Amino acid sequence: MSWMVTGGAGYIGAHVVRALLAADIEPVVVDDLSTGFARFVPDGVPFVTTTILDQAALEDAIKNHGVEGVIHLAGFKYAGVSVSRPLHTYAQNVQGTVSLLEAMTATGVDKIVFSSSAATFGTPDVDLVTEQTPTKPESPYGETKLIGEWLIRDAATAYGLKHTSLRYFNVVGSGTEELFDASPHNLFPLVFDALTNGRVPQVNGDDYDTPDGSCVRDYVHVADLAHSHAVAARKLAAGESLEPVYNLGSGTGSSVKEIMIAVREVTGIDFTPQIGPRRPGDPARIVATGELAARDLDWQMRHTLRDMVASAWSARQAAGDAY
């Protein structure tokens, strides 16, 4: 039996595929390559190129590969862009999840691990976000992730679906040089792009009520994240009950200026970041606890901030012109 990974050719999904292989779980990748890369899929891993909106194709993939569970990462993941493309975001993230759940129900697959997001919380008014922190999404992306959780919850009530949803904030680093983050909106790629093109990275505001004045965010290493997805799959496959939602957070966070210092040390490129104005709506600090996930999903921060930057930079350099 195998586990289907939707979005398995993407940055996070490809790491999850490798975590499954390390856990002796056979993965099957489903990806439409809208943002993923076929070369991210390891040799020998079954790869079905299709959109999750195609229910019939999903049913065929499940039947053809003996799928017993799904790790659902596919979707439109750009929170900022979702504001100007709400219909596309809802089609991919809500209709796509409905299509997947329909395919699972039709084929008798009753286990799912859902890639949710800290965007479901919006701008929390607490220093440390827990699973009980109220959800108040502020973008179509965050709304669709919360709706995804609701869809899975309701499918569990109706059809006995066994499930959990994992919420995380800023996923960074690389578990292997062949996998890199190509997002045009994430901090690490933006900083690396600036440096490789002879520009100076910018810090958006340095007058926040934080130790160094810059925003504090939760950064977690993608390999640590992927490991907990595999643990969740293994526990569901063994019939163990999991919480409906887990935060995968550091509990401490790092500031943007700390990121810049680590980048300067790792790359050897001497620069002083420009200080720009605050971005409207940016809270001073958003950090989540990972205590529940540590209890149930072997969640640990196994990588330091320097490890995160160094692995991301190494993967970026290894990509070369292919980036």
Query: Contact 217/254 with Cβ under 8 angstroms?
Result: yes
- What is the C-alpha separation between 221 and 11, in angstroms, rounded? 12
Q: 33, 51 in Cβ contact below 8 A?
A: no
Angle at 303 between CA 248 and CA 194, to 5 degrees: 95
CA dist 204 and 193 (Å) reads 17
Q: Where are the alpha helices (DSSP H) in 23-117?
A: 55-64, 79-82, 86-90, 96-107
Closest CA to 271 of 210, 213, 194: 194
* Sequence-separated (6 or more) residues with CB below 8 Å from residue 114: 72, 148, 149, 152, 163, 164, 165, 166
Which residues sit opposite 29 in a β-bridge? 5, 47
Residues 187, 256: contact at Cβ < 8 Å?
yes
**What is the DSSP-derived secondary structure letter of residue 197?**
T
Please say whether the beta carbons of 315 and 221 come within 8 A.
no
- 141 catalytically annotated: yes
Cα gap 137→123, rounded to integer Å: 8
Q: Hey, is 55 helix, strand or coil?
A: helix
Question: Which residue out of 11, 78, 90, 141 is catalytically annotated?
Answer: 141
Q: How far is 232 from 75, CA to CA, in rounded Å? A: 20
Q: Which are the contacts of 122, defined by CB distance < 8 A and separation ≥ 6?
A: 135, 136, 137, 138, 142
The DSSP letter of residue 134 is P
Query: What amino acid occupies position 54?
Result: D
Residues annotated as part of the active site: 141
